[in-house]
Structure 1
Amino acid sequence: MAGRGVDEPERLGRTVLPDGRVLGWAEWGPEDGVPVLLCAGAATSRWMGLGAGTSGSDGDGGDPVAGLGVRLVCLDRPGLGVSDPAPEGTLTGFAEDVRHLVDERGLRHPAVIGFSQGAPFALACAWAGAVRAAAVVSGSDELAHPDLVRMLEPDVRAMVEAATADPRGAEADFAGMGDPEVLCDLVVRLSGEADRRIYTEPGFARSFRRAVREGFAQGPGGYAREVVLTMSRWPFDPAEITAPVDLWYGAQDTSPVHSPDLGASLACRIGTAHRHVVPEAGGALLWTHTRDVLTTLLARRTRALAGA
């Protein structure tokens, strides 16, 4: 169980992109470790790492990042935290930002984790060839895809339809509703019992709420922009992804904005996908099953490099 929250980052920094924008990042683990990028959930800033003592079914309760020799790099997406906004930004544009960061920071052959709303951004990086392997954990699916819209709860379907019909209007509406405390409370309220125990554990709650507050440091614009991006049709075809992708879902996940079929249809669309549904886990399995996710991801990366 996630009992001690998230350690302070060991390194903080900002990378200047070719167009002059800044991309913020935080790092944990050895600088010569295996680079793993983290695209965190909605409005969650670079402060949200993978935790310390997050064992769950993972075994010894030690820090899996340090224990596995991972150099974890959590990113502030455009408009979140200290990263400059990208008013015309896209999912594929973010992948190009990541490609530049990887080159500038010397992150050789990175892997990526996309959690919740960060999943489409991670998959865009895999599609663009900016990473060698990807793990989607409790990921938001392409909710605007015709095969999925009919599965959505009415409130979520209305949001998707608004984002598709009038992106600018929807973005303004989402910005008007954007508030870090409201968002954190909503996550807890929509969580099932398994997840509520995680999100309300005092140490984890402090880390999570801090990361979301930092995500809103520039206001709600970055959050609103990426809600529109992730709830619209994606500008890339997941079927074109050639890197290995692991899809991780908890059978107890009750979030209406994650995949409505726990990644089943997404697994069919991605030819390199391996789908894992953990019976006892909820949507917070990134922190309850951290070691499982990381060891599988590192093994996929190793095999991908061996086959290059």
Structure 2
Amino acid sequence: MRQSIALKDGRRMGYAVFGDPAGRPCLLVHGYSSSSWVAGWALSDAVLRRHGVRVISVDRPGYGSSTANPGMGFGAWAEDASVLAGHLGLDRVATIGVSMGAGPALALAAMRPDLVTSTTILSGMAPVDGVARWTPDSRVDAFYWRLARRAPWLLRRLCSLSAATMSAGARGDADRLIGRVERALPPADLRVFRKLLEDGGSEAKAAFIADVRESCRQGGAAMADDLLDYLRPWEFDPGDVRGAVHVWHGLEDPKVPAALARRLVDRLADGTSRFVPGGHFAAFAYRDEILARIGTE
């Protein structure tokens, strides 16, 4: 179910609800070049219902139906998320931050310990300011990060072109788009991706196409903003998060080096970690275990 709310400054915040309507509420924050529809194919309604979890999956600014707000910072996003929680009547909620959704999810936990029961980070991006000589294994990702540091104007043009290509693909043949995505994935991520779509059937396939479409609905500016946001110092320290944080990360993640994730875990006051075989999608292979914990908290 797709909805949106108006924020106090006139912006809108889009979200979609998946899973058990009476289940434990969980706020999901998507990653780079994604949208609230990620929950529809990476978690699937059947899996969520099996574990009694209701996911409120939020479009981050500039993605899907959420108004862009460049340079807003993770703390400002947490304030918006608090408004959404109040609108939905949520007194306590778990959070999941996927990839570049890690910073916003942790910001909410740091600012609203009264609201957030626990935070789960899946293949999450960590603070990188002050981290010397880090680079992802993916050559494409490394190039984008290099542009973010040295030529942001060129990064924005490249992200705009990428978004236009993705948008055209989402309007065409679904199987052709999925095939193109699969050819770009490393073997470990390809196996997980295919399993997620296979388990979810036609609904997961449709949700993935919707995710691609909504991720680039407003162009590629939000993608560029993601990288630029992570190059800036966070407004809070991860150690400020007093609640439990569960980090899941692939040992061969080509996008976010496992070493960065370990640095994040070391800074948490109450952090646990599972470093598992696989790449950037590795955590989703353990979604039953992850959701079972959230469903019983």
- Superposition TM-score tier, normalisation by shorter sequence: 0.7 to 0.9
Which residue of 185, 188, 191 corresponds with 1:191?
185
Q: Distance in 1 between matches of 2:107 and 2:181?
A: 25
Residue 106 to residue 113, structure 1, CA distance change in 2 (3 Å): same
Letter in 1 for 2:210: R
1:49 partner SS: helix
By how many angstroms is 1:286 displaced? 4.2
Which residue of 30, 33, 38 corresponds with 1:43?
33
By how many angstroms is 1:81 displaced? 0.7
Aligned 8 A contact 1:139 1:259 in 2: no
Q: Which moved more, 1:202-211 or 1:16-25?
A: 202-211
1:147 partner SS: coil
By how many angstroms is 1:170 displaced? 4.4
Richer in helix (by share): 2
Query: What does the per-residue CA deviation read over 1:31-76, in whole Å, with 9 as the maximum and x for residues that have no partner?
Result: 332110111221212222154986xxxxxxx923112221111111
Q: Distance in 1 between matches of 2:218 and 2:192?
A: 27
Aligned 8 A contact 2:18 2:40 in 1: no
What residue is the counterpart of 2:61 in the other structure?
A: 78
Unaligned runs of 5+ in 2: 171-176
Provide the aligned C-alpha RMSD in A.
3.0
Query: What does the per-residue CA deviation read over 1:256-280, in whole Å, with 9 as the maximum and x for residues that have no partner?
Result: x22442621111011211011123x
Q: Percent identity?
A: 27
What residue is the counterpart of 2:90 in the other structure?
A: 107
Matches within 5 A, 1:122-161: 122-129=105-112, 130-142=115-127, 144-147=128-131, 149-150=133-134, 152-153=136-137, 156=141, 159-160=144-145
Q: TM-score, normalised by structure 1?
A: 0.78
Which residue of 22, 26, 31 corresponds with 1:32?
22
Residue 245 to residue 149, structure 1, CA distance change in 2 (3 Å): farther
Q: Distance in 2 between matches of 1:167 and 1:282?
A: 27
What residue is the counterpart of 1:241 in the other structure?
A: 241
How many residues get paired? 279
Unaligned runs of 5+ in 1: 1-10, 55-61, 303-308
Residue 186 to residue 239, structure 1, CA distance change in 2 (3 Å): farther
Aligned 8 A contact 1:190 1:254 in 2: no
Residue 50 to residue 209, structure 1, CA distance change in 2 (3 Å): closer
By how many angstroms is 1:216 displaced? 1.1
Letter in 1 for 2:16: A
1:295 partner SS: helix
Q: TM-score, normalised by structure 2?
A: 0.80
Q: Distance in 1 between matches of 2:264 and 2:42?
A: 31
Aligned 8 A contact 2:136 2:256 in 1: no
What residue is the counterpart of 1:291 in the other structure?
A: 288
Residue 91 to residue 101, structure 1, CA distance change in 2 (3 Å): same
By how many angstroms is 1:207 displaced? 3.1
